[in-house]
Amino acid sequence: MLNENLVPDRISQVISRFAAEGRLTETQPYGNGHINDTFLLTFRTEDNHTKRYILQRMNNNIFKNPCQLMENVVNITEYLRKMILSQGGDPDRETLNVVRTLDGASYYEDDSHNFWRVFLFIEDTICLEMVESPRDFYDSGAALGNFQRMLADYPAETLHETIPDFHHTPSRFLAFQRAVQEDKLGRAAQAAEEIAFALAREKDTAALTDLLQAGKLPLRVTHNDTKLNNILFDKTTKKALCIVDLDTVMPGLSLYDFGDSIRFGASTGAEDEPDLSRIELDLTLFEAFTEGFLKGCAGSLTPEEIRLLPMGAKLMTYECGIRFLADFLEGDSYFKIHRENHNLDRARTQFKLVADMEKKWDQMAEIVEKCTERQVHTT
């Protein structure tokens, strides 16, 4: 995080480089993302209106090439804009809109090599940290399936890989194993049970990548970070309106987007809930999301993708667990933390969910089957 004392001055200096409308009147840290530094900026325009923007300092420890990253974001949002317009939607609210710098660039690099970008703030939306009703989750599934479908013909070869091997679970496993072996902060003893849990599941790690390599699963343009708080809902209609956080839009598997949503949204507790008795997989929510996702994908998923949806959920949850745990062992340099052992708590919820999915495996498969049949009958 930026030094808090520096924030207001630094921010007004940074935002003066962008084509924002009016005079800056208020700055506040915003949202619950784990990666970028996000601020909500309020402006007063000359005709006395309020105009708000999202300013982000991109995390360049994680995103090594902010220039390529922004090239992706600009190209994707411009593509989506056209799609949304052709479908009669409102592109100012249904996709992110990049605000340029005064000299027309999509980001600004300051003297300390911080990279900044600005988006229009999407007004009259809500962002959920927990699913409030199956209906919301059905709707996020439909929105994410639709997002994938809108990008189905996007020229994937033009996308930069912003984080190499982002969902390559076997590589994530190797990185995790290395963190355990090095144990550079002496924290492994504290997480012995979780480490054993993760190591015991090594054989699952290649379940999807092997099929991808064998040509049995299609590579698509996917979002890759589909947790609930990356979806904005319209305040009035309560419908999922806009998918944000486009930093990891890259070629991937539809199962990554499905799975990542389930691991976050179909849990009965928060991602960092310390009381594990409150964490399990809610099958009603699993069903709601599955139904919505299948609807949003509108018949574009192959039978193999559909069969593997439960595996997508389990593997994305497991992968996120080993990422949190590796970060805990390595000193919490990747995910932002707000308390001691935060990443360990996060890893624990993920593993509790994985264990619960293993128990509910047959039910998950039955739900997928049931939703697929229903889909066939309604189309």
Q: Which residues bind ligand GN1 (CB under 6 A)?
A: 33-35, 225, 227, 230, 245, 247-248, 260, 271, 320
Residue 248's binding partner out of ligand GN1, ligand ADP, Mg ion, none, with CB under 5 to 8 Å set by partner kind: ligand GN1
86 burial (CB, 10 Å; 0-12 / 13-18 / 19+) is exposed
Distance CA 312, CA 256 (A): 6
> Using CB under 6 A, which of 245, 319, 330, 345 touches ligand ADP?
245
User: Number of H helices and number of E strands within the chain?
Assistant: 13, 11
Distance CA 208, CA 46 (A): 55
* Look-up of token digits 């504290």: 190
Contact 326, 175 (CB under 8 A): yes
The mark string for 71-110 relative to ligand ADP (x by CB under 6 A, - otherwise) is -------------------------x--------------
Query: Does 20 contact ligand ADP by CB under 6 A?
Result: no
Residue 320's binding partner out of ligand ADP, ligand GN1, Mg ion, none, with CB under 5 to 8 Å set by partner kind: ligand GN1
Query: Does 60 contact ligand ADP by CB under 6 A?
Result: no
Query: Does 33 contact Mg ion by CB under 5 A?
Result: yes
Query: Does 122 contact ligand ADP by CB under 6 A?
Result: yes
Closest CA to 246 of 264, 224, 279: 224
3-class SS of residue 261: helix
Query: What is the largest distance, in Å, between two alpha-carbon atoms of the chain?
Result: 63
- Please state the separation of Cα 68 from the chain's center in Å: 19
Residue 30's binding partner out of Mg ion, ligand ADP, ligand GN1, none, with CB under 5 to 8 Å set by partner kind: ligand ADP
Query: Does 272 contact ligand ADP by CB under 6 A?
Result: no
- Kindly tell me which of 191 and 244 has the beta carbon lying closer to ligand ADP: 244
Supply angle C-alpha 286, 94, 227, rounded to 5. Answer: 30
Query: Does 357 contact ligand ADP by CB under 6 A?
Result: no
**CB neighbours of residue 196 within 10 Å:** 9
Stretch that binds Mg ion, among 178-186, 224-232, 302-310, 334-342 (CB under 5 A): 224-232
Contact residues toward ligand ADP (CB under 6 A) are: 30-31, 33-36, 38, 54, 96, 119, 121-122, 127, 229-230, 232, 244-245, 247
